[in-house]
Structures are given as structure tokens and as C-alpha cells.
Amino acid sequence: MVLASKTDLFGNNSDGRSRSMIISSSAGVLKGSLMILSDPRTVASHAAVIGGLFAGVASMDKDAADSSDSITIWTDLIATLSASGSISAGDQVILSSVVNAVESSNVIAVNPQGKLVGIAMDDASGNLVSVRINK
């Protein structure tokens, strides 16, 4: 599993418009994991729950043994993400059924609203793609 690698953070103070979210105290998450909403203001890693609505990218590691119930995510950035299938520059990309990866929204016939991760900044190459994320 390849984790997101940030290339540029935007927002005030170039902080990626970071947001503090609730997470299960028993969850373990690696920095760069794609995060989805599991309840209002509550997130889980894409590895834990396939599907759901995209929330952002984990900006920190969260140890499963630390009993913490919060995590900070980035919501305004350019990141290099794992690509599943063919993605062209300009494509809207959505969460894939492959853990921690995105795919072109052109592969589905339904409205990707909510599952939208961002816009591909280049063609996928070597199973990686740069994506502009702005939640």
C-alpha cells in the first residue's frame, strides 16, 4: 500500500487547511492515509472502511495503543497518490476499491459527489498520480 505523499500545502499559513477530526481511540493510522467520513466529524482510514465519503489525508501517524480519539487531516493540498487504472490529467478522481488508491470518475456512471478526492494534475505513471485536493 502506497501512502499519499504531499507535495504542496495550501490554505492559511500553508497548513493544508488542517482539520481536527474524531477517530476511534483503538484505530492505528499512518501519515498519508486517505481518510473517509464514518460519522459526522468522525473519520476512519480508507484501509479500514472501503467506500464512504472522502474527508482528507492524515497529516500524522496515530498509534492504536495511544488511546487518543483525535487526528488531524489535510484538506487543501497537492499529493501524489496511488492510482488504480488509467487516469489522465484533468480527470476527476474518486476513492478506489483498492485500499488507499484513487481511480478516474470516468469508470463509474453515477455522480461521484462526496467520493470525489480531487483533480488529476498529470497522467498516472507507474501507478502514481498527482492530485489537487480541495475539500
Q: Taking residues 23-34, what's their average pLDDT? A: 94
Contact 57, 77 (CB under 8 A): yes
Tens digits of residue pLDDT in 1-21 = 677 888 888 988 888 899 999
Which residues of the chain are in CATH 2.40.300.10 domains? 13-75, 77-134
Q: Is the pLDDT of residue 35 over 80?
A: yes
Give the pLDDT of residue 48: 62
Tens digits of residue pLDDT in 38-56 = 888 999 998 766 667 899 9
The superfamily in CATH containing domain 13-75 is: Head decoration protein D (2.40.300.10)
Cell of 68: 487518543
The superfamily in CATH containing domain 77-134 is: Head decoration protein D (2.40.300.10)
Q: Taking residues 106-134, what's their average pLDDT? A: 83
